Amino acid sequence: MDVISVIRTKRDRGELSPEQIDWVIDAYTRGEVADEQMSALAMAILLNGMNRTEIARWTAAMIASGERMNFDSLSRPTADKHSTGGVGDKITLPLAPLVAACGAAVPQLSGRGLGHTGGTLDKLESIPGWRALLSNEEMLNVLDTTGAVICAAGDGLAPADKKLYALRDVTGTVEAIPLIASSIMSKKIAEGTGSLVLDVKVGTGAFMKNIEDARELASTMVALGTDSGVKTVALLTDMSTPLGLTAGNALEVRESVEVLAGGGPADVVELTIALAREMLDAAGIKDADPAKALADGSAMDVWRRMIAAQGGDPDATLPVAREQHVITAPSSGVLTRLDAYDIGVAAWRLGAGRARKEDPVQAGAGVELHAKPGDTVTAGQPLLTLHTDTPEKFEYALKSLDASYDVAPAGTAFSATPIVRERIA
Name which of 194, 217, 215 is nearest 78 in CA terms: 194
Within 10 angstroms of residue 262's Cβ, the number of other Cβ atoms is 13
Q: What is the radius of gyration, based on Cα positions, of the chain?
A: 21
Name which of 222, 220, 139 is nearest 176 in CA terms: 220
Q: How far apart are CA 291 and CA 288, in angstroms?
A: 9
Of 22, 89, 161, 169, which one is the catalytic site residue?
161
In order of 237, 241, 252, 408, the CA distances from 334 in angstroms are: 24, 15, 25, 5
Within 10 angstroms of residue 390's Cβ, the number of other Cβ atoms is 13
Distance of CA 318 to the CA centre of its chain: 21
Q: How far apart are CA 229 and CA 232, in angstroms?
A: 9
Of 65, 110, 182, 183, which one is the catalytic site residue?
183
- Can you say whether the dihedral through the CA atoms of 119, 121, 123, 125 is positive or negative? negative
Residue 376 and residue 325 in contact, taking contact as beta carbons nearer than 8 Å = no
Residue 249 and residue 364 in contact, taking contact as beta carbons nearer than 8 Å = yes
Whether 201 sits among the annotated catalytic residues: the reply is: no
Whether 161 sits among the annotated catalytic residues: the reply is: yes
Residue 126 and residue 319 in contact, taking contact as beta carbons nearer than 8 Å = yes
Whether 322 sits among the annotated catalytic residues: the reply is: no
Whether 183 sits among the annotated catalytic residues: the reply is: yes
Name which of 233, 160, 169 is nearest 198 in CA terms: 233
- Can you say whether the dihedral through the CA atoms of 104, 105, 109, 110 is positive or negative? positive
Of 10, 187, 304, 393, which one is the catalytic site residue?
187
Pairing between strand 195-202 and 80-83?
A: parallel
Residues marked as catalytic: 82, 161, 168, 183, 187
